[in-house]
Structure 1
Amino acid sequence: MSDWTLTKTRLFEGVWEGVLVPTEPGTAAPEIEVTHLQQPLDGVEIIARPDSGDRVLRVPVPADRIADGVQTFLIRDRSSGEVLDSFALVAGDALAYDLRAEIALLREELDLLKRAFRRHCLETASGGG
């Protein structure tokens, strides 16, 4: 188990940010590794905040790692090997297809509900008098 808890704060201007909080005060700085397709990313920063004892993790997302489909990034504590968090970027035609398929499914379900509701209203109106 890791000595740190990671909480995402934002993804802004191509940089994923989170706050690393030690499970116990005075814990040594973590060794963080961020990977995409099992390849480590460069430029990962851990910035200490002495006033609170926690640290800010900054992960710049390289432009060459952005592509169609789902791109998943793993954030691990290198010393324990535990995955602290992950994030995914979804882009391109694969996303558009998925959204179109979901919208079509929702429309079909809505049509089914409308027919069932109309049938219920007709049965209730003709059966009760």
Structure 2
Amino acid sequence: MEATLTKTRIREGVWQGLLTGASEGIEVTLLGEKIAGVTVTPCPGGHEVRVPIPAAVLNDGVQTFLIRQGAETLAHFTIITGVAMEDDLRAEIDLLRAELDMLKRAFRRHCVETA
């Protein structure tokens, strides 16, 4: 069964979502670094995923968190701090950068393994 993750809310510095399907191997990254303290607990309808948002990462600009299971990105969320933005274009560009960085690492790993 394919896993799906649906955001339920952000409250008190914690992103929360409902995961249906397999619950193993969930990791959250920001700029390629893993976020500690992510929990996945059984709940009615699936599993509740809780991602603490570290205060240390809240800086001016756009921060995009990727929630992944293996190589598949299940969801992402973006936090914008500092100057108010009229549209979400910077967030989309930041997400594209994060995805591109992930693809570059996977491609380099593939090249090393097949060489």
For residue 31 of structure 1, report the CA deviation from its aligned partner. 1.1
- TM-score by length of structure 1 reads 0.62
Give 1:46's aligned residue.
40
The structure where helix makes up a greater share of residues is 1
What amino acid is aligned across from residue 37 of structure 1 in structure 2? L
Larger Rg: 1
For 1:20-78, what per-residue CA distance to the aligned partner results, in whole angstroms no more than 9, with x for missing partners? 012xxxxx5321010000000000000112x53x0000000000111101000000002
**Counterparts of 1:55 and 1:68 in 2: how far apart (Å)?**
33
2:54 to 41, 55, 62: 62
What amino acid is aligned across from residue 39 of structure 1 in structure 2? E
What amino acid is aligned across from residue 75 of structure 2 in structure 1? D
Give 1:82's aligned residue.
72
For structure 1, which runs of at least 5 residues remain unmatched after alignment?
Answer: 23-27, 100-129
Secondary structure of the residue aligned to 1:34 is: strand
Give 1:19's aligned residue.
18
Secondary structure of the residue aligned to 2:56 is: helix
Give 1:6's aligned residue.
5
- TM-score by length of structure 2 reads 0.69
For 1:74-126, what per-residue CA distance to the aligned partner results, in whole angstroms no more than 9, with x for missing partners? 00002xx100000000011xx33x44xxxxxxxxxxxxxxxxxxxxxxxxxxx
For structure 2, which runs of at least 5 residues remain unmatched after alignment?
Answer: 87-115
Aligned length: 86
Name segments (4+ residues, structure 1) moved above 6 Å: none
